[in-house]
Every structure is written in C-alpha cells, then in structure tokens.
Amino acid sequence: MPASLPAFTAEEFERALAARSPEPLSPATVLALYQHYQELARWNRTLSLVGPGTADEVISRHYGEALAALPLLPTRAREAVDIGSGAGFPGIVLAAARPGLQVTLCEARERKWSFLAAAARRASLPCRCLNARVNLPLPTGLPEAIDLVTARAVRLEPEVLGSLASRLTPGGRVLLWVGEETPDLPPNLTPDRELPLAGSARRRILGLRRTESSSETG
C-alpha cells in the first residue's frame, strides 16, 4: 500500500540532511533535494516508491544512505550510471551533490521511470532517464565509458557486473549497497573499500575496482 511521507518545511529538511551528510551540502544541493522530496511525497500517495516500513525514516534511511557514498566517489568522476533507480536513491541524490556528475538513471518499471523524469525536471538536474532493465546485452543508451556505477535496490548477476566493469574508466568504481554477505563478483572486479551504514550492524556500501589485470592502467 502506498504510504504518506512526513511533511517537512525547507528548514527542517535542511537540518535533517545536514545531520546525516558526511560533508557540508551547498544551498543549491539542498534545494534540489528538497524539490525531489516534494515530488516524491506527491507521487508516493499513489505509487509505492517508499514503502510504509521506511516512510517515517525517509531522510535517514534513503537520503542519508545515498549521501553516505560521497567519500567513495572517484574524485574526477564525470559519467555515472545508477541501476534500479526507483525513487532516485542514490542516483538523484548524488547528481544533486555533485553538479559535475552526469547521471544516467536506469529503471525498468515505466511508472517509476516516469517519476524519475518528473523529479529530475523539478529539481533542475540534467539526469538522463533510461526506461530499461540492465541485463545482458547491456541496453542501448548506457555510456561507453563510465566513471561510477551504483546499485542500491537491485541485485546484479556477476556477468552483468563484469560487462559494466569492462566500461569503467581508469580509477572508476562500482558501489553496491549490500548486507553482511558479499555478492558473487566477476573476475574483473575486486573489493577495495567499504563503509558501514549508520543505524545498521550489517548493511554497508561496498566499493569495487577493476582488477589490475583488467585495468587500462595496468
């Protein structure tokens, strides 16, 4: 069942974000995220983008867990792909926090894809919204060279991860929001960093790099 999200003033929303962000957020970033939240609250009345189980902790559980990835983003990342974007976590959040990052939001479900396009417009974020399932072969519309791949709400098979990894630029990274168990990985990806998620003993962000033998840098 769709759930109503809490009503926040702009000031309340800004304070809640600041308490959960690993770095200071610019006024432009906060405004974009507040616009996203307002659109999310409007759509969530009829489309279950955020379920009732996490509606009351939407900032800590969803915005906070997306912002938690900021220390893991490659410094010079310019091209990102967010897989299974759903409500826009983490893709829209990262696009707002990193204005120089071009984010392609991939969502297979048409109504959620429609929401992403509407939310990106309202937040004035130049995200590409791709209505496609990321499987093999990789869908048309994905960048050929990718600096960052994120996946929070979907499990990717090793073969799909391997194909995405083959498009990673030198220094590029894949970020997976996972539990205690590390997923099966292809031979061209290896863990290099991870961050625990606040409020959970098991959930974490797992950072992956191309294995040295697969890297263009050798």
Residue 50's alpha-carbon distances to 1, 55, 119, 218, in angstroms, are: 10, 6, 14, 42
Residue 111 lies in a domain: yes
Residue 2 lies in a domain: no
Residue 196 lies in a domain: yes
- Owning domain of residue 141: 10-214
Q: Which residues pair with 128 in a beta bridge?
A: 104
How far, in Å, CA of 67 to CA of 16, rounded? 12
Task: Tell me how many domains the chain contains.
Answer: 1
**Model confidence, pTM:** 0.94
Q: Are 125 and 92 in contact (CB under 8 A)?
A: yes
Reported confidence tier of residue 1, pLDDT bands at 50, 70, 90: low
The better pLDDT of the pair 213, 168 is held by 168
**What is the average pLDDT across 126-141?**
97
The better pLDDT of the pair 217, 133 is held by 133
Residue 5 lies in a domain: no
Residue 15 reports pLDDT greater than 90: yes
Count Cβ neighbours within 10 Å for each residue of 17-37 and write b for 16 or more, e otherwise: beebbeeebeeebbbbbbbbb
pLDDT at 201: 81
Residue 48 lies in a domain: yes
**What is the average pLDDT across 128-135?**
97
* Residue among 37, 41, 36 at smallest CA distance from 122: 36
* CATH number of domain containing 82: 3.40.50.150
Residue 3 lies in a domain: no
Least confident of 23-32, 110-119, 191-200: 191-200
pLDDT digits (tens, 9 = 90+) for 31-80: 999 999 999 999 999 999 998 888 789 999 999 999 999 999 999 999 99
Residues composing the chain? 218
pLDDT digits (tens, 9 = 90+) for 77-90: 999 999 999 999 99
pLDDT digits (tens, 9 = 90+) for 137-193: 999 999 999 999 999 989 999 999 999 999 999 999 999 999 999 999 999 999 999
How far, in Å, CA of 200 to CA of 202, rounded? 5
pLDDT at 153: 83
Reported confidence tier of residue 218, pLDDT bands at 50, 70, 90: very low
pLDDT digits (tens, 9 = 90+) for 97-115: 999 999 999 999 999 999 9
Residue 215 reports pLDDT greater than 50: no
Residue 165 lies in a domain: yes
Residue 113 lies in a domain: yes
